[in-house]
Structure 1
Amino acid sequence: MSEAAPARSNRFLKITDVVAETSLSRATIYRLIAKGDFPSPIRVSPQRVAWSERSVQGWKDQQANNLLN
């Protein structure tokens, strides 16, 4: 019996959540965004940005895949 991949939530993550999920510093995350190497945040209010959990998980999956190849 094959197991289905777990469904990914599409909740919004604050920068502190993204730091915790990726183990990257805040500065590194913004540097990677500037280089086009990390998902851009979504403006959720005039003074708040957040990341889609799916986009962050997709980036993490891609990084793991790159390490295997």
Structure 2
Amino acid sequence: MSMNKSETEVFLSIPDIQKRYSISRASVYNLINKQAFPSPIKVLPGLSRFKLSDIEQWENKVWGK
């Protein structure tokens, strides 16, 4: 899917993910390691973020939203 000029990708940090699902940092990484959660992407060296669109796709797949 291509993005319009008016659409901008939103990125979430680990603390954002923790708040969204009420889980610990370790739980986030455990899910990623089990390939049960979308992997973050490198935005800059030493800085990774989760694409909100990936998270929403995962939610739809897992919870049928």
TM-score (norm: length of structure 2): 0.75
RMSD: 1.8
Cα shift at 1:21: 1.4
Cα shift at 1:60: 2.2
TM-score (norm: length of structure 1): 0.71
Whose helix proportion is higher, 1 or 2?
Answer: 1
Gap runs ≥5 in structure 2: 1-7
Structure 1 or 2, whichever has the larger Rg, is 1
Residues matched between the structures, number: 58
Task: Please give the per-residue CA displacement for 1:7-64, whole angstroms capped at 9, x wherever unaligned.
Answer: xx63111111111112221111100110110000000011110000011122223332
Same amino acid, percent of matched pairs: 35
- Structure 1 counterpart of 2:31, which letter? L
